[in-house]
Amino acid sequence: MQMKNLKEFKTVLKLAKKYKLKILIATIAIFLSSISYILVGYLNGYAIEEVTKMHLNIALCILFIYLFTQILFSLIERIALASLSKVEVKISREISNIAYRKTLNLPAYAFEEITSGELINRITNDTSVIRNSFEQLIQIAANITSAIVIFFYIIYNSWIIGLEIIIFIVIYALFVVNFNPKLKKIHKERKVINDEATSITTESIRGIREIKTLGIKNSLFKNIEDIIKRMLNKSYEEIYLYEVYDIIASILKILLEVATFITCAILLYYEKTTLTFFIAITYYIYRYTWMIENITSFTKIYNEVTTSLTRINEIIENKLYHDVTFGNVNLKECQGIIKFNNVTFNYPNEGVVLNNFNVTFEPHKKIGIVGKSGQGKSTIFNLLTRVFDTNIGNITIDGVDIKDLDEVSLRKYIAIIRQEPFLFNNTIKNNFLLLNNKLTLNDIRKYCKMAYIDDYIMSLPKGYNTILGEGGVNLSGGQKQRLAIARALAKESKIILFDEATSALDNESQTYIKKVIDNLVKDHTIIIIAHRLSTIKDADIIYVILDGKIKDKGTHQELMNKSKIYQKLYNNEIS
């Protein structure tokens, strides 16, 4: 085992400290059980030798001691292993929780570079692999300890057989050291392919309606078949390596058994040893070969565990990405005054999106932001909500730099309604309770009435207990938007951002959304990114974005009179 690999167990060992007493007791029990097996070989040999001397009573007494010892320590070992299994399950679950929490704290660009399948596998499959690792490791350690004690007994009786065992162990160790890197490489490659399979399966399930209507099932079948083929090839490669591993290990075991039996038989023939030792050595050599089988099995588990722990630790220990950090300023009340001060920003590996951007958004106004695609409109929201952070300059809310705000304040006072709002595959009621589990049904209905969605929900057979389906698939676009608005209202956020929230809606749904926004203006800071300019014609102020800067601003009529960019955008829409 390389020291580099052992470092990957740091998180596991840290969590194991909470259960150190249970682990210690179980370890002692397993060690005692393993050491007790040393007596078995000797007792068997002694009993048989007494039989040859016609001392039947002594032989029966010895066999009774053998039987009692076996039953007692076998029971102790089983109880200890059961206790360890419970600890392993708890540690595995805790690591999964830590990995999940760390994943939610990853910066936004991490989710653009890592597939959903890979993240899911790291949180679930990789953490589950940890189970049974303690149990296996302690058993191996106990077996090695008993093997060392047995070795001294063998050396005491025959240095020749001891030398044969040393030669065998050295050859086997060299074999394992040469073989392990190949196995670990295959485990890592198989994990990557499995991530691809999980990712495409997840996307297929989430996008099943589009897949059916686009008629691309056959293309997806071909993709998944290719992934499965590669996964099978890698599995076959792994099976082949293990077959070679097992064959060589078996040959080495047989050679050791035959060599020791022949040597012992010769020594017994020339009266250089006793029958007790001869019988005992047959048991002990099988004990050695059984230990080798255990080590072979553990080698496979160890490679899988270290590969999985490496992947988990990359997230837990921020090896790939740093967590988003927050300040400690708690904003007791929020007026909703937003300022962008000399903000410059570019996405990773892309050109500048906002360039020395300056603007002030004031409360109690309906504010519109327009411009061609790729000019930085949605980036304004991404920076304000700290999905990304500015490269240069800063953003303030009520004069406080948003990087100095604690996470609670930032999330509490800003709500965003996107073109495709995310809704959980749960009941309508539980989608609100995730925000605040103290909300009553009357509270939820109040917010839904404000968003003009309560009547529709109450018309459903199960009302607020209706399951929304994956991503709210059971609702229309307008209904999802209004439900998302109601959820934002339940947050009681002072700043509400609409990111092209009405661009894909029918006229009736758009009318509802417009009424909601008009009602919110008097108490909130409302900022709307719009592709359909008709939705913000009555805005108090409209900002026109070009090349990451504000090119023009004014009311609809003012911009129609002075802004060629706005005129072009509006005329293209109505033409």
Q: Token digits for 73?
A: 């320590």
543: which strand partners?
369, 553
- Helix or strand or coil: residue 419? coil
Which CATH number goes with the domain that contains 124?
1.20.1560.10
Rounded-to-10 torsion of CA 170, 171, 176, 179: 150
Same domain, 296 and 385: no
Same domain, 389 and 299: no
Which domain-ending residue is among 253, 282, 314? 314
The pLDDT tens digits along the chain (575 residues) read: 454 566 777 777 788 888 888 888 887 887 777 767 667 767 777 777 777 777 878 878 877 887 887 788 788 888 887 888 888 888 888 888 888 888 777 776 677 677 777 777 777 777 777 766 666 666 676 677 777 777 787 888 888 888 888 888 788 878 777 777 787 788 778 877 877 777 777 766 666 655 655 566 677 777 778 887 888 888 888 788 878 877 887 888 888 888 888 888 888 888 888 777 777 777 777 777 776 666 666 666 777 777 778 888 877 877 767 777 888 888 888 888 999 999 999 887 777 888 889 999 998 888 999 888 777 888 888 899 888 888 899 999 999 999 999 888 888 888 888 877 778 888 889 888 888 888 899 999 988 988 888 988 999 889 999 888 766 667 777 788 888 888 888 888 889 888 876 655 566 667 777 777 888 888 888 898 887 777 788 888 999 988 888 889 998 898 888 888 888 888 877 65
Same domain, 102 and 214: yes
**Residue 324 and residue 331: Cα distance in Å, rounded?**
19
Q: Is residue 320 part of a domain?
A: no
- What separation in angstroms does the CA of 40 have from each of 60, 196, 286, 313, 372? 14, 51, 12, 43, 83
The per-residue pLDDT for 3 is: 46
Same domain, 433 and 527: yes
Q: Is residue 326 part of a domain?
A: no
Task: Give how many domains the chain has, as a whole number.
Answer: 2
Q: Is residue 388 part of a domain?
A: yes
**Residue 162 and residue 5: Cα distance in Å, rounded?**
32
Q: Is residue 89 part of a domain?
A: yes
Q: Which residue has the tokens 């400290």?
A: 17
Q: Token digits for 540?
A: 């108090």
Nearest to 496 by CA among 479, 481, 474: 481
The per-residue pLDDT for 324 is: 75
Q: Is residue 322 part of a domain?
A: no
- Tell me what percent of the chain is helix, strand and coil, each rounded to the nearest 5: 65, 10, 20
Which domain-ending residue is among 279, 314, 349? 314
Q: Is residue 331 part of a domain?
A: no
Q: Which residue has the tokens 């032989």?
A: 59
Q: Is residue 333 part of a domain?
A: no
Q: Token digits for 474?
A: 């059971």
**Residue 150 and residue 142: Cα distance in Å, rounded?**
12
Q: Kindly report the backbone phi and psi dihedral angles of residue 99, in degrees, each rounded to the nearest multiple of 5, phi listed first.
A: -60, -40
Same domain, 372 and 461: yes
Same domain, 447 and 375: yes
User: Is 424 exposed, middle or buried (CB count within 10 Å of its CB: 0-12, 13-18, 19+)?
Assistant: middle
Same domain, 266 and 399: no
Which domain-ending residue is among 261, 281, 314? 314
The per-residue pLDDT for 441 is: 92
Which CATH number goes with the domain that contains 553?
3.40.50.300
The per-residue pLDDT for 258 is: 84
Q: Is residue 280 part of a domain?
A: yes
Same domain, 492 and 379: yes
Same domain, 35 and 178: yes
Nearest to 377 by CA among 524, 501, 517: 501
Q: Which residues constitute the domain of residue 551?
A: 338-574
Question: What is the greatest pairwise CA distance in the chain?
Answer: 121
- What separation in angstroms does the CA of 93 have from each of 25, 86, 127, 268, 309? 22, 11, 7, 56, 14
**Residue 481 and residue 439: Cα distance in Å, rounded?**
21
Same domain, 194 and 60: yes
For residue 417, what is the enclosing H or E element? strand 414-418
